[in-house]
Amino acid sequence: MMNTGQLSNNKLLDMVFESTYYGIVIVDSHAKIQYISNKYCEFLNVERSTVIGEHVTNIIENTRLHLVVQIGKSEIADIHFLRGDFVIANRIPIIENKEIIGAIGTIMFRDLDDWNKMNSHIKEILTKHNFYKNERDVINGVKYSLHNLIGNSQEIQQLKELVKRVARGDISVLIRGESGTGKEIIAHSIHQLSGRSDKPLVKINCTSIPEHLLESELFGYEEGAFTGANKGGKIGKFQFADGGTVFLDEIGDMPQHMQVKLLRVLQEKEFEPVGSLYPKKLNVRVIAATNRPLEKLVEEKLFREDLFYRINAVQLFVPPLRDRIEDIPVLVDYFLKKVTARIGKRVTSVHPEVLSVIEQYNWPGNIRELENVIDAGVHLSNDEVIGKDALPDYLKRHNVKMKEESLKDIVEETEKKAIERALRRFKFDKKRVAETLGIGNSTLYDKIKKYQISDQ
């Protein structure tokens, strides 16, 4: 039997255990509680003074601590249903001189959501430091992680937090954003941080597969389903992803007859291969992405409304590059290091004048276009610093245009302030203002309207 005198100093035990575990309980060889932490008592909604000495099964529902005392075998990271929630519990026998004198039970996570949060956090850290094996990621279809979503702007930081929260669940996700913003990175990150990360991530580009082959590519076919069918049939991309994630890129371009079949997968968790007489069960998570206005497509009856609401359970928006200009310097540095490492050329930075040109450009092709510009700049540069001569011609032309527009802006701003000063000076007597400025009355009225100058 456990020496209870050794456990009488609850203050010392509290100092050790209250700060390290959500809950802890120690039982003797008869499975009677000798110590229980205050946190665990709060979770169980019991008074500590009333449970000391009680058999553990009378206090903790579904416990297995009394069995650990009997068998002497540890149970690590076991899922334990307790007070309407799942907790992650460890149970370890206490052995002295080869005799079981008790057992200790700890709650590592209060519920599965806590577990999933920590699991995603650990995966993110491991990926950031390249601890995951590339071979496994390639096999599972994962090429990117959240570490590849580069940026320090508030928009990107908020997006990263949303990705981590969404990844922990199993809900369908719709990723929206312009072409080249990084929607695929988001899809890969969700899968990689999810509980499905050890299963395949299968990408399906809804625009790249010919329409007459789309059904068999997605759902496979049975032997003899059509002329030329492979002997034994063929599994489709959805079945290959069973247990994992399907990433439907450019879902706005999916034909309507396939939208019906996808809706069945989402609603009934089953599909029918071409030529099959019976449906097959399927367990996949669906992540979709589009740069098209699905709401407008729904109004025009080009996209099913019921499917839209199914895939739109959670919506993530990837901002265009022009809306996060503050991320451009870090993106330029990232792509510069990436390109130079790939081709082995020593180019260390971009000229400040080049960075200014890049920051003023509108970037309709977003991140993908910026990477291509830096790639070209490294190849074309004759120095360790990328100068304006290494920029694509269209960026040079845009820079000239921007300079012209900037001069125009300066002139217009100067003109507006001169008119405002004159109006105040002559107490809004427009005739005198026009005479002083040397312009006609109608011209003055036109400029007041153009610059939206108040006439009071």
Model confidence over 404-456: pLDDT tens digits? 666 676 677 778 878 887 886 777 888 888 888 888 888 888 888 888 887 65
Average pLDDT, the chain: 83
- Looking at the DSSP assignment, which residues form a beta bridge with residue 95? 100
Q: Does one domain contain both 101 and 193?
A: no
201 and 325 fall within a common domain: no
pLDDT at 133: 44
pLDDT: which is higher, 407 or 310: 310
Q: Looking at the structure, do residues 259 and 284 belong to the same domain, yes or no?
A: yes
Query: Residue 116 and residue 313: Cα distance in Å, rounded?
Result: 20
- Domain enclosing residue 379, as ranges: 321-391
Give the total number of structural domains in the chain.
Answer: 4
Residue 59 lies in a domain: yes
Q: What is the CATH number of the domain that holds 19?
A: 3.30.450.20
What is the pLDDT confidence band of residue 39, given thresholds at 50, 70 and 90?
A: confident
320/183 Cα distance (integer angstroms): 11
Is residue 331 very low, low, confident or very high in pLDDT (cuts 50, 70, 90)?
very high
Q: What is the DSSP string of 223-252?
A: TTSSTTPPTT-B--HHHHTTTSEEEEETGG
**387 and 414, same domain (yes or no):** no
Q: Please enumerate, as own/partner, the contacts of 153-156 that have beta carbons within 8 Å and a separation of 24 or more.
A: 153/324, 153/326, 153/327, 155/319, 155/323, 155/324, 156/319, 156/324, 156/327
Q: Are residues 77 and 59 in the same domain?
A: yes
| Shared domain check, 279 and 358 | no
Can you tell me the distance from the alpha carbon of 272 to that of 400, in angstroms, rounded to the nearest whole number? 58
Whether residue 259 is found in the same domain as residue 154: yes
Considering the domain boundaries, does residue 455 fall inside one? Answer: no
Tell the residue number behind the tokens 């011609």, with chain if given. 393
For residues 392 and 372, is the Cβ–Cβ distance under 8 A?
A: no
At 152 the three-state DSSP class reads coil
Compute φ and ψ for 163, nearest 5 degrees: -60, -45
What pLDDT was estimated at residue 403?
A: 64
Q: Above 90 in pLDDT, residue 44?
A: no
Question: pLDDT value at position 420?
Answer: 80
Residues 84 and 29 in one domain: yes
**Contact present, 178 and 352 (Cβ < 8 Å):** no
Report the amino acid identity of residue 136: R
Chosen domain end from 374, 391, 408: 391
State pLDDT tens for residues 256-287.
Answer: 888 998 998 889 999 888 888 888 899 999 99
**Tokens encoding 352:** 């400040």
Highest mean pLDDT out of 17-31, 204-218, 363-377: 363-377
202 and 244 belong to one structural domain: yes
The answer on 445 and 327 residing in a single domain is no
Q: SS3 of 99, please? A: strand
The Cα–Cα gap between 209 and 215 comes to: 10
Domain boundary among 349, 370, 391: 391
Query: Does any domain span residue 456?
Result: no
Over residues 302-318, mean pLDDT: 93
* Whether residue 271 is found in the same domain as residue 417: no
Let me know whether 153 and 272 are in one domain: yes
Tens of pLDDT, residues 347-387: 899 999 899 889 888 899 999 999 999 999 999 988 899 99
Greater model confidence, 416 or 249: 249
* CA 385/CA 381 separation, integer angstroms: 7
Q: What is the CA radius of gyration of the chain?
A: 33
CATH number at 438 reads 1.10.10
Q: Where a domain ends, among 275, 301, 317?
A: 317
CATH number (domain holding residue 168): 3.40.50.300
- What would the pLDDT profile of 67-118 be if each residue is shown by its tens digit? 999 999 999 888 777 776 667 789 999 998 889 999 999 887 655 455 555 5
* Predicted confidence (pLDDT) at residue 321 exceeds the cutoff of 50: yes
Query: Residue 4 pLDDT > 60, yes or no?
Result: no
What share of the chain in percent tops pLDDT 90?
38
Segment 125-145 shows an average pLDDT of: 56
Q: Which residue, among 72, 62, 115, has the nearest Cα to 92 in the 3D structure?
A: 72
* Distance separating alpha carbons of residues 186 and 208, to the nearest angstrom: 20
Q: How confident is the model at residue 127 (pLDDT cuts 50, 70, 90)?
A: low
Q: Give 382's DSSP letter.
A: S
Q: Which CATH number is 385's domain given?
A: 1.10.8.60
pLDDT band at 60 (very low <50, low <70, confident <90, very high): very high
